[in-house]
Structure 1
């Protein structure tokens, strides 16, 4: 029994040490931000190869808040590339301290990671070619539709198809770049993803007139920044930084920088999200 208690104590101590992100950052002088290569306009690499985007800017604000909280004269930001397949492992293992992408907050995901306050709200939509548009999500009946595997977009699309008793062929792709390419090549009739991300990917092609977006949505996707579970101190610093942005209106230039410039107006739900999460100190 004594050995079991000692082993349990060691495990708890180890878990607590692993979860203390702020202490690790203070010791190393480094914060590790996870970025995506093609999750426009949230997290992507620009033509110069630099990771940029709305979520990246939010994470840089959080990094500045961490530096101030720890009283560090300098804090190095280490950028670590992640993708849809390895992002959870990267957060859990400590490869990244925070994932700066477009992760949907779900209760099942909270079994593995924690999330910041919501950073965006969107929903699943379907993009098609303008010469054969799918004007409604229901128009995918009898069609072949691509979706990124191991994402909430895939799970929600499959659930929608089952619930609506729509017969459609759902195929998976690795990322948004492959989805848009297969749609452009005529390999699929539609590509399903979160609406705001689809718009970013369409704009990236520089030929938006060749695509059509469904008028309706098939899911609700609240985004947050992922971090390790059970690290309340680090999460509090992150949430303080976000709440301050929402409370003071400093998020508005960021929104204009990444969304308004491509014609994405804030929805009533998104406006409500910013207001409801402007938590006071």
Structure 2
């Protein structure tokens, strides 16, 4: 009978030692989350249907946000934190990388292209989406290709790969376009809808999202040969392999279970807030291949 308390004390001591050892082994973002009991998610306000505000201006929603919440669930299990608090932090095209780098946000899942230039600053999860950069314009404008933009006002969103591509095209082909860089996708579309620009260049899925919220969606069309194919990923701090492993594992599990098909259908094939319009954007073969064989490589590397 005397041995029972001794064995119990030993078991408790071992358990405490194991817990302490785990805490000591944690580094980087996982340690930050464990110590604070909070994870901070970076999100967008107008990247429909990836990450944006719907009817509630305080609650981000979207395809990428749903995947981000899968990551949160995985981190709860990894760190044994069932009551993990989730904090939201709005980012823009210009601030998203700095806010990941300086630790203000722990992960950003929105509409961020994984490219070689950005890989020097942050790490990316396995790909979550693949897009082509095209044009949104009025059907009556007579614009079908990028060559039709010569001498016209063209809007894009500042800090995006589309901005870099259209400026390079303008210089290389001497097209005399007036390129307007708006602060976000919502402002870009507003400039297009109000007639201050003839076309809006951006990732095709985002253009379908903007078209869905137009006053008269049938007046608009997405057109033009894609100038690039780009893979979206979730951003995490560079060199934080332990955290990236959990992020990748959560997304890969969502792919493998087939739940990604439900998430995709919800945001691209069904009516979405705020106007409950349907994007009618079927899953591309490129995205199907990405889901079947997940990779953290950019389209430039695939």
Whether the TM-score (by the shorter chain) exceeds 0.5 is yes
Question: For each residue in 1:201-249, what CA deviation from the matched residue of structure 2 results, as whole angstroms up to 9, or x when unmatched?
Answer: 1102252112121142111211000111010000000000111111121
Alignment partner, residue 126 of structure 1: 135
Unaligned stretches of 5+ residues in structure 2: 1-24, 271-278, 297-302
Which moved further from structure 2: 236-245 or 156-165?
156-165
Residue 133 (structure 1) shift: 3.7
Q: 1:184 to 1:73 in 2, by over 3 A?
A: closer
> Counterparts of 1:136-215 in structure 2 under 5 Å?
136-215=145-224
SS in 1 for 2:226: coil
CA contact under 8 A between 1:123 and 1:218: conserved in structure 2? yes
CA contact under 8 A between 1:134 and 1:213: conserved in structure 2? no
Unaligned stretches of 5+ residues in structure 1: 1-16
CA contact under 8 A between 2:126 and 2:295: conserved in structure 1? no
Note if 1:248 corresponds to 2:257.
yes
> Out of 18, 28, 39, which is 1:31 matched to?
39
Q: TM-score, normalised by structure 1?
A: 0.89
CA contact under 8 A between 1:22 and 1:234: conserved in structure 2? yes
> Out of 78, 102, 118, which is 2:111 matched to?
102
Q: TM-score, normalised by structure 2?
A: 0.83
SS in 2 for 1:221: strand
> Counterparts of 1:46-61 in structure 2 under 5 Å?
46-49=54-57, 50-61=59-70
CA distance in 1 between partners of 2:292 and 2:145 (Å): 31
CA distance in 1 between partners of 2:195 and 2:231 (Å): 31
Residue 158 (structure 1) shift: 2.2
> Out of 76, 92, 96, which is 1:83 matched to?
92
CA contact under 8 A between 2:127 and 2:295: conserved in structure 1? no
Alignment partner, residue 4 of structure 1: none
SS in 2 for 1:91: helix
Alignment partner, residue 274 of structure 2: none
Alignment partner, residue 292 of structure 2: 275
Q: Which runs of 4+ in 1 moved over 6 A?
A: none
Computed over aligned residues only, the root mean square deviation of the Cα atoms, in angstroms, reads 1.9
